A = this chain, B = another copy of it.
């Protein structure tokens, strides 16, 4: 088992879906990723920033899961990042209603010394400048660095984004964004083009249609678990990434075969995430629930010839 560094937002969300509303609940890419990873490793080094409005009880809950919060800056007299969004019946699309950067506006991530040798790194979706700033502080001993990004940074910070993408091993990105980044409609061609930008592996997230892993001239397709009800897809992609990297940090094996298992574990965690608003379902899972969910993916996809 190796250390996993997770960087990104720890935040509040207000969410509306066809099934209900949740106001000022816990959110943030780094929160979701850390909870998901915590089912595989208790050596998680979190880097983020919150205001003094962020509940102490929520920090303690993360620490109880093995998340090291030395890298969590708590800014006095400031508000945490806030996002509000609304989903329609097609949960693959959403409208952003509010984005209040608040503390994120002058986030200057400083890694505690003990974080710098983390062998696995998950750069959540923040500005490419901040992602670069984190990479610059690492000691160079990393085994696998993954990053997430979004269309917004392609639109306003393309050059900086290309620099950081050139330095990572894995890019996780959704299908529309992969198409935008590559200019290719076919996801096979899109992954090939992104591969040329630097990452050895590309994970394309397709929401309810699952996820594709490209690398080593191989492709792996993990479906999403078909569910009767998706209550809240917020954080599902980050949860996937956290489960994926948590499993890799636990097993410390970066072969394509083990990455397949990691994709399945990430998909299993994402399938829990969407069953409740916010981190409610992710906070208190039992190991046997996680294991039986992973087995469901096997039943769902395996066949004998």
Contacts and interface: CB of A to CB of B under 8 A. Distances in A.
A226 B187 contact: yes
What is the predominant secondary structure among interface residues of chain A facing chain B?
mixed
Interface in A193-245: 206, 209-210, 212, 218-223, 226-230
A209 B206 contact: yes
Nearest to A260: B303
A304 B112 CA distance: 37
A298 B305 contact: yes
Interface string A267-305: 000000000000000000000000000110011111111
B188 A219 contact: no
A295 B302 CA distance: 12
A223 B221 contact: yes
Contacts of A300: 219-221
B305 A294 contact: yes
A186 B257 contact: no
A94 interface: no
Contacts of A188: 226-228
